[in-house]
């Protein structure tokens, strides 16, 4: 005899218990500490901070641990936590020109003031599995140190701007929009676009950026400069009447220099794409810069080539992996009411089509 399915509540509780057991894995293996995740999986931590829009390495490490290493799930945990935090105010814009750079490279000049600094990059590693790491017990390694540079490292694009050969960005004192506080509307404006891109899914942006390189709205990008390092974060305190430093954050900044033959409205000059992302996240920052540049076709008087990366509504509506994964995965939820209505409809249409066929055969 059929009994309607009951016990949803117990099923959920049991699923959660099993999940907790799986998260811990084999109890004979030492448990991961947050400090281990923060220190040894720092690029995962950086991605979670960047796409979670919350700069807190310890919380990001906790989220990664809780999510069993599923970074989108970890980003989700951070986002849901972030939205409950009260807002005390806005900081002043950070000055990336004053960045304490760990890495700074330019593809457009052989050398420039501040030099080419490779920093801790995978770039020239040979991708050979290092079985020494499998042995564990590796002592902490120390890299050779140079004397730190004390003067600011100028932006490469400044040199081009000095020659007036690169498009200048308009100065503005306007407070940028915030897509977490205002519903998105189109056209969104560059401030909202950049916010959306910097929170956007790394894989999605990588794919879009790659598509521009392969000819879907190609925009001839050079990495004018990529820099990674720490900047001071300052906040105006109304009671004090001046800004104080409240901490520092690690950022990756990428400025692309894009060839531009000129358009109906603009003279020939170089143009820019811009990427700025929390942490050491250079694949994301370069991708962001390429997509930002592709999205600027309208303001630069370029043609709409119908490419995905040029389509603001398409890019901004689909770049958020928390929105995307939620909606994608919701099709796991029961849909049997809708399915039943479709079932009835298809049966009815088939019955009618069958009746028509029988009638035609009889005639």
Kindly list the residues in this chain that would bind other proteins in the complex (CB under 8 A): 1-9, 11-12, 59, 62, 76, 79-80, 82-84, 86, 180-187, 313, 317, 322-323, 325-330, 333-338, 340-345, 348-349, 352-353
Least gap, CB of 355 to other proteins (angstroms): 10
Tell me which residue has tokens 């900047």. Answer: 231
Nearer to other proteins, 24 or 347 (CB): 347
Least gap, CB of 92 to other proteins (angstroms): 20
Nearer to other proteins, 162 or 334 (CB): 334
Which tokens is 269 given? 């000059």
Least gap, CB of 264 to other proteins (angstroms): 23
- Phi and psi angles of residue 321, each rounded to the nearest 5 degrees, phi first: -75, -20
Least gap, CB of 283 to other proteins (angstroms): 25
Least gap, CB of 202 to other proteins (angstroms): 18
Nearer to other proteins, 53 or 116 (CB): 53
Nearer to other proteins, 89 or 170 (CB): 89
DSSP assignment letter at 78: H
Which tokens is 244 given? 């104080």
Taking the CB of residue 61, how many other CB atoms lie within 10 A of it? 26
Q: Are 206 and 309 in contact (CB under 8 A)?
A: no
Distance CA 25, CA 11 (A): 21
Nearer to other proteins, 12 or 98 (CB): 12
Between the alpha carbon of residue 286 and those of residues 89, 102, 205, 243, 303, the distances in Å are: 29, 17, 9, 31, 23
Distance CA 110, CA 218 (A): 25
């Amino acid at each position: 005899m059929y009994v309607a399915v009951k016990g949803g509540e117990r099923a959920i509780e049991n699923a959660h218990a099993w999940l907790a057991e799986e998260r811990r894995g084999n109890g004979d293996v030492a448990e991961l500490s947050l400090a281990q995740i923060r220190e040894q999986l720092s690029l995962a931590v950086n991605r979670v901070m960047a796409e979670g829009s919350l700069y807190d390495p310890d919380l990001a490490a906790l989220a990664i641990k809780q999510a069993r290493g599923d970074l989108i799930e970890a980003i989700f945990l951070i986002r849901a936590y972030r939205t409950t935090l009260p807002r005390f105010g806005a900081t002043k814009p950070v000055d990336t020109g004053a960045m304490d750079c760990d890495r700074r490279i330019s593809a457009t000049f052989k050398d420039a003031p501040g030099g080419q600094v490779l920093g801790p990059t995978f770039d020239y590693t040979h991708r050979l599995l290092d079985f020494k790491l499998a042995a564990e017990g590796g002592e902490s390694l120390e890299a050779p140190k140079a004397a730190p540079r004390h003067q600011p490292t100028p932006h490469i694009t400044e040199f081009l701007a000095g020659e007036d050969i690169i498009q200048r960005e308009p100065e503005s004192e306007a407070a940028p929009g915030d897509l977490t506080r205002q519903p998105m509307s189109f056209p969104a404006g560059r401030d909202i676009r950049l916010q959306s891109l910097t929170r956007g899914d790394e894989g999605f942006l990588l794919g879009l950026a790659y598509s521009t390189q392969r000819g879907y709205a190609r925009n001839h990008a050079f990495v004018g400069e990529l820099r990674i390092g720490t900047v001071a974060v300052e906040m105006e305190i109304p009671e004090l009447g001046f800004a104080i430093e409240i901490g520092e954050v690690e950022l990756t900044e990428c400025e692309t220099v894009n060839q531009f033959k000129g358009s109906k409205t603009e003279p020939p000059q170089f143009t820019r794409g811009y990427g700025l992302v929390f942490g050491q996240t250079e694949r994301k920052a370069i991708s962001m810069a390429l997509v930002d540049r592709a999205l600027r076709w309208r303001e630069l008087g370029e043609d709409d080539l119908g490419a995905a990366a040029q389509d603001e509504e398409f890019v901004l509506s689909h770049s958020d992996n928390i929105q995307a994964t939620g909606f994608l995965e919701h099709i796991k939820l029961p849909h049997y009411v809708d399915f039943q209505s479709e079932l009835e409809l298809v049966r009815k249409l088939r019955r009618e089509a069958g009746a028509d066929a029988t009638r035609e055969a009889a005639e």
